[in-house]
Copies of this chain bind each other. A is one copy, B any other.
Amino acid sequence: MVTLVSETKLTLAKLADIAGVSTSTASRALKDNPLIKQETRSRIQALAKEHNFSINAAASRLRTQKTHVIAVILNLIDNTEQSTTDPFLLKLVGELNQALNAKGYELLLSNSFMASDDWANYFIRSQRADGIIVIGQGKSTAKIDRAAQSGIPIVVWGDAKTEAPYPIIGGDNYLGGYTATQHLLSHGAKRILFLGDSEHAEMQERHKGYAQAHKDANVPIDAQCTCAIDITSKAAYQYINERIKANGLDFDGIVCVSDMVALGALKALKERYVGIPSDVGIVGYDDISLAELMHPSLTTVRQNTQQAAIEMVTQLLNQFENKPTESQVVETTLIARRSTQHSD
Contacts and interface: CB of A to CB of B under 8 A. Distances in A.
Interface of A: 1, 3-5, 9-10, 52-59, 61-62, 67, 69, 83-85, 87, 90-91, 93-95, 97-98, 101, 106-111, 114, 118, 120-122, 125-128, 149-151, 165, 233, 237, 260, 263-264, 266-267, 270-271, 289-290, 293-295, 297
Nearest to A63: B58
Task: Work out how many copies of this chain go into the complex.
Answer: 2
A128 B106 contact: yes
A57 B289 contact: no
Contacts of A295: 266-267, 270-271, 295
A340 to B, nearest CB: 17
Contact of A62 (B59, B85, B87, B151): B59
A61 to B, nearest CB: 4
A19 B64 CA distance: 28
Contact of A149 (B1, B59, B150): B1
A122 B54 contact: yes
A87 B84 contact: no
Nearest to A66: B58
Contacts of A165: 1
A54 B121 contact: yes
A55 to B, nearest CB: 6
A128 B266 CA distance: 46
Contact of A107 (B61, B109, B118): B109
B110 A108 contact: no
Contacts of A5: 150-151
25 contacts: A1-B151, A5-B151, A52-B125, A52-B150, A53-B121, A54-B125, A55-B126, A57-B126, A57-B128, A58-B58, A58-B62, A58-B67, A84-B90, A84-B93, A90-B94, A93-B109, A97-B109, A101-B114, A107-B109, A109-B109, A233-B290, A263-B290, A266-B293, A271-B295, A290-B290
Contacts of A87: 85, 87, 90
A126 B267 contact: no
A291 B21 CA distance: 62
A77 to B, nearest CB: 15
B62 A56 contact: yes
Contacts of A149: 1, 3
